[in-house]
Amino acid sequence: MAEPAHTTATTEVAGHAPAESHEPTALGLTPTGWVALAMIAVFALFIWKRVPAAVGRALDAQIATIRRRLDEAAALRAEAEALKKEYQKKAKAADKEAKAMLERAGHEAEAIVAKANSDAEAMIERRTRMAEQKIAAEERAAINELRASAAAAATRAAEKLIAERYDAKADTRLVDEAIAGLGKS
């Protein structure tokens, strides 16, 4: 039987006899060779078990989920902007109505001044105050109505989103995923 091969290197140090150094080998491979062989085996195992494809599929699934969420967020934003525009239009209409009411009150006051004497001046002052208070009350009522309408719309939108996203099936799926996640830990 043949002896295992050993690599022998001789070095001469100035003024000294040559020194031999032996690098150990096993089955003809040095430690560096064994490390390279092990790395090749690990990479071959990864490729054989299709690890890169599984990582790619997982990344693709996450990308699809993120895209879907971005699309949902864009739709929600568009809906919110539409609601905002609608309420701005209603607020402008309420302002116009308030101005029209002020104009009507002013014309009414002028007609009373033309017809009445000194008592009419007191009446005009009283009616003007009443009209301003009424306008202020109408403005507050319009604003409160707009706020209530906005709150109701937001509530309906939230209920719709929650109903669409989280039904009993989704709850079951989330619980199953959480349990599976605990099992992996």
Interval 19-40: pLDDT, tens: 555 677 777 788 888 899 899 9
Highest mean pLDDT among 6-10, 111-115, 144-148: 144-148
pTM exceeds 0.85 for this model? no
Contacting residues for 98 by C-beta, under 8 A, at least 6 apart: 135, 138, 139, 142
Query: What is the predicted pLDDT for the residue at 31?
Result: 84
d(CA 165, CA 183): 26
Question: For 15, which DSSP code?
Answer: T
Residue 66: is its pLDDT beyond 70?
yes
Domain ranges of the chain: 34-164
Among the listed residues 113, 108, 115, the one whose alpha carbon sits nearest the alpha carbon of residue 134: 108
Tens of pLDDT, residue by residue over 123-167, are 788 889 998 999 999 999 989 998 888 888 888 887 787 777 777
Query: What is the predicted pLDDT for the residue at 5?
Result: 47
